[in-house]
Amino acid sequence: MEKLNKVVLAYSGGLDTSIIIPWLKENYGCEVIAYAADVGQEEELEPLNEKAIKTGASKIYIEDLKEELVRDFVFPMIKSGAIYENRYLLGTSIARPVIAKRQVEIAIKEGADAVAHGATGKGNDQVRFELTFKALKPDLKIIAPWREWDIKSRDEEIDYAEARGIPVPVSKAKPYSMDRNLWHISYEGGILEDPWNEYNEDMFILTASPEQAPDQPEILTIDFEKGVPVAINGQGYDPVALIFKLNEIAGRHGVGRVDIVENRLVGMKSRGVYETPAGTVLYEAHHALETITLDRDTLHYKQMVAGRYAELVYFGQWFTPLRQALDAFIDQTQERVSGSIKVKLFKGSVQTVGRKSPYSLYQEKLATFGADQVYNQKDAEGFINLFGLPLKVQASLDQSLKK
């Protein structure tokens, strides 16, 4: 392998990145700078300082990216309505570009000639990291150890770590892969690799079991300004505090769990179990507000855009002209998506039960089944005749051909 001068490694202190530090030094003869992103994983990041240095890093950066993640990545995604394959709220996906963006900035600051990550050659994260690197600093060399080394499994990683006296947070008995940030927690591996196996209840962190959730529902009001959530029950919160508060409330009611088999970008199917309590509430509330503030054509077209936007996030294509162009469209649609949504949380479910907005297009005098003076029901006859004209012409032709 070529000799490198300095490499910035995306470092979590987990199994993969714990052994990558000595592996990089052994195989590239380089200085390794560890970089850990605080994206709200609620773990003790401070011990990473000592751990990274002990395993061979020359220094470590620990960067607080929570506000940037929510403000510049999560909130635009909520406004878009993006949900991958109609189930996945993109918790891991949306965090990767902000993490990789800061990694590039550190590499430039340190004069590094390469960046490295611990994503496997089977996963989506390798694509998300590397597309960000290529978009922001295309001349940086990218090192992906999982695509280079001879290690083939989690068990072999554990053996590698033990041989070098490196403590790791997993064991062969329970090799779960867990990714956490303030938006969600994902679980993969272990017993979850068999899609017939039910998950273990003690696995969850953010959400109570729906069966054990309170027996009384809780009503929340979520206020939005131009598509961005700003308050809960009339109390304003900054972006990060709002997510944490909703995680606490919705998680208490068991809201936000999903168990899915998704199609990875690299071509295989993968089973994941996710907890996204705040996100589940916010997506429901935001969509409910759009139903009264967006006209039919814009709402329907935006739903198509949401599917493509979800793919861009999932595929790691955040820093692309298409995503930027879609954001321009989405921001325009959100100009009047302001108002309040009332939701009911109960034993794992969230349901909209009230909607109001100064920009509401809903008019009770038009929608009422009672007597009204604004809608002439006779007008519908001409509309139906014209709307159904192609069907009538087709049917007439079919009948004539049968004679």
pLDDT of residue 42: 80
| 140-176 tens-digit pLDDT | 999 999 999 999 887 898 899 889 888 776 656 655 6
Q: Rounded to two decimals, what is the model's pTM?
A: 0.93
Residue 256 labeled ligand binder: no
pLDDT of residue 45: 85
Residue 120 labeled ligand binder: yes
Please tell me the least confidently modeled range out of 165-174, 190-199, 280-289.
165-174
Residue 17 labeled ligand binder: yes
Catalytically annotated residues: 16, 96, 125, 177
Tokens 């004069």, residue located: 111
Nearest to 40 by CA among 215, 179, 175, 168: 179
| 356-373 tens-digit pLDDT | 999 999 988 787 777 667
Confidence of residue 21 (pLDDT cuts 50, 70, 90): very high
Cβ 291 vs Cβ 101: under 8 Å = no
Residue 274 labeled ligand binder: yes
The token pair that represents 61 in the structure block: 């950066």
Helix axes 239-252, 277-293, angle to 10 degrees: 110
Category of 267 on φ-ψ map: left (φ > 0), alpha (ψ -120 to 50) or beta: left
Cβ 360 vs Cβ 290: under 8 Å = no
Domains in the chain: ranges and CATH: 6-74+95-171 (3.40.50.620), 179-355 (3.90.1260.10)
pLDDT of residue 174: 57
Dist. CA 330–CA 308, nearest whole Å: 12
pLDDT of residue 155: 85
